[in-house]
Amino acid sequence: MNSLRSRLTPQSLRSRLLVTTIALLLGVGLVIGVVTTIALRHTLNGQLNTQLEEAAGRSQRLVAGDFRGGGVPRPGLPGFDADDTACATGSLPALGGPGQVDGTLYAQFVGGRVDLADTGVLEISATQACSSPLTGAQAAQLRSVAGDGQHTVDLDGLGDYRVSATTRADGSVAVTGLPLDGVNRTVLSVIAVEAGALLVGVAAAAVLGSVLIRRDLLPLRRVAATAGRVSELQLDRGDVGLEDRVPLQDTDENTEVGRVGLALNRMLDHVSSALEARHASELQVRQFVADASHELRTPLAAIRGYSELTRRSRDAVPPDVLHAMGRVESEAVRMTGLVEDLLLLARLDAGRPLERRPVDLTMIVLDAVSDAQVAGRDHTWRLDLPDEVVEVVGDQGRLHQVLTNLLANARTHTPPGTTVTVGIRAEGGAAHLDVVDDGPGIPPQTLPHVFERFARGDSSRSREAGSTGLGLAIVDAVVASHHGAVSVQSTPGRTAFRVTLPTA
């Protein structure tokens, strides 16, 4: 029901305005038409009633004068010959006097029955005026008109008549009538003219209105276009540069649209400064992380160096000190890795340009898998490579790191005996790099966030592996900076990472 209504109601403001205007115009036109027609009809009927009374008076006088001549003398009628007796119907005194008009009807009832000899309708032509008799049916219809005074009656073959009846002293009733079709025709032609004018007016208003409304709504369109362009901007990261504003001509405070435009511009100003502030603080944090990571590298290298030196010292070192030094060294190694990861992420975030050289993906896979094989002897490593070389353009070191991270995950987050398959497929301008393992899978609560920073599954293996949760975040950032995409599907028994990169 609602959908039907919404389908029938025009959606755009423009069509709604147009439909409303036309409906109002039609309504006003109809009301004016109906009122004028009723008033016109009323006036014409009043005139006819006066004429009828005059005609009835004439009839009475003519009948009283007992005038019975041949034919119906009509002096002054063009081409009328007073001696013309061609009238077959004889003569009716009531219709035979001057002033009576074409179509005048006269009837006489004696004792409730129509006196057909004294009943007829006046017919005036160019050459003669005579009366023609009424039919029995017409007479009967006349008789059915009750009492004295004026009435309207529909006579078969003659149409509507306005009649005036008078009862004479001798009890006979005289009825004089005038045809109503003159009035009806006038009213109908006025209705036709009004309807035609209304239709033409409405059509013209529709065309003109459509043009004017379109012109008046143009500023609204420009405001909407500005809002549309802004909504397409990616506001969530980086330097947005929100320069777009509603044109000055559409920000006039005296118009409704102008106020909307003005408000939108103010809002854009606020959003723009908020985004600039956010970008500045992002830059600051990034710079801080990069600086901190960079600064940490040297002391960490020193810690590693000294702990290694102590461990390898030829002097006798107590076993607990040796153990402590071993721990210091391994934690320093872990921290160095973490610092390197943070530095890399900070640089990728800053949009540092990467190297762009043709890179042989197959070679990277072979290298990375043979490294992984050494590190993970408990796992089974398989290759699924195409015969031809697959090349992409990018930074060889970073792409190597992507694969290393994925393989490290497949090694550290799965139990011994897991099979890991690395495959490459070139397909329609893109290279797909797949790393699939048949391990226990990524915990469902971790899966939606695996590519976020510091997101890691809280399994004992993850803790054992000393993982930090930056591996996949780096994969994501490196692949994104190569204009590629990474995705993951994981169920117990099958975890598949797919890296898609545009081929050279």
Ligand X SMILES: Nc1ncnc2c1ncn2[C@@H]1O[C@H](COP(=O)(O)OP(=O)(O)OP(=O)(O)O)[C@@H](O)[C@H]1O
Which residues contact ligand X (rule: CB under 6 A)?
405, 409-410, 413-414, 437, 439, 441-442, 446, 450, 455-457, 462, 467-473, 495
Which residue, 10 or 337, is less far from Mg ion as judged by CB? Answer: 337
Q: Rounded distance, CA 84 to CA 220, Å? A: 82
Question: Cβ distance 380 to 339 under 8 Å?
Answer: no
CB of 293 to ligand X, least distance (A): 14
CB of 421 to ligand X, least distance (A): 12
Binding characters for Mg ion, 413-452, by CB under 5 A (x = yes): ----------------------------------------
CB of 375 to Mg ion, least distance (A): 13
Q: End-to-end CA distance of the chain, in Å? A: 56
Which residue, 52 or 406, is less far from ligand X as judged by CB? Answer: 406
Which residue, 304 or 413, is less far from Mg ion as judged by CB? Answer: 413
Residues 249-268 that bind Mg ion (CB under 5 A): none
For position 471 contacting Mg ion by CB under 5 A, the verdict is: yes
| The amino acid at 269 | D
CB of 476 to ligand X, least distance (A): 9
Q: Return the DSSP state at 315.
A: S
Closest CA to 372 of 408, 400, 406: 408
Which residue, 325 or 442, is less far from ligand X as judged by CB? Answer: 442
CB of 442 to ligand X, least distance (A): 4
| The amino acid at 159 | G
Residue 71 touches which of ligand X, Mg ion, none (Cβ within 5-8 Å per kind): none
> Two tokens at 272?
């723009």
Binding characters for Mg ion, 5-34, by CB under 5 A (x = yes): ------------------------------
- Within its chain, how far is the Cα of 445 from the centroid? 39
C-alpha to C-alpha distances, 171 to 67, 112, 174, 254, 402, nearest whole angstrom: 21, 9, 10, 82, 124
Residue 414 touches which of Mg ion, ligand X, none (Cβ within 5-8 Å per kind): ligand X
CA torsion 259-262-268-274 (nearest 10°) is -100
Q: Rounded distance, CA 301 to CA 439, Å? A: 36
Stretch that binds Mg ion, among 13-21, 179-187, 280-288, 403-411 (CB under 5 A): 403-411
For residue 140, the tally of other CB atoms under 10 A from its CB is 13
Give the Cα-Cα-Cα angle 485, 489, 493 (nearest 5 degrees): 145
Which residue, 311 or 334, is less far from ligand X as judged by CB? Answer: 334
Tally the residues of the chain.
Answer: 504
CB of 333 to ligand X, least distance (A): 12
Question: Cβ distance 191 to 33 under 8 Å?
Answer: yes
Residue 29 touches which of Mg ion, ligand X, none (Cβ within 5-8 Å per kind): none
For position 409 contacting Mg ion by CB under 5 A, the verdict is: yes
Residues at the interface with Mg ion (CB under 5 A): 409, 471
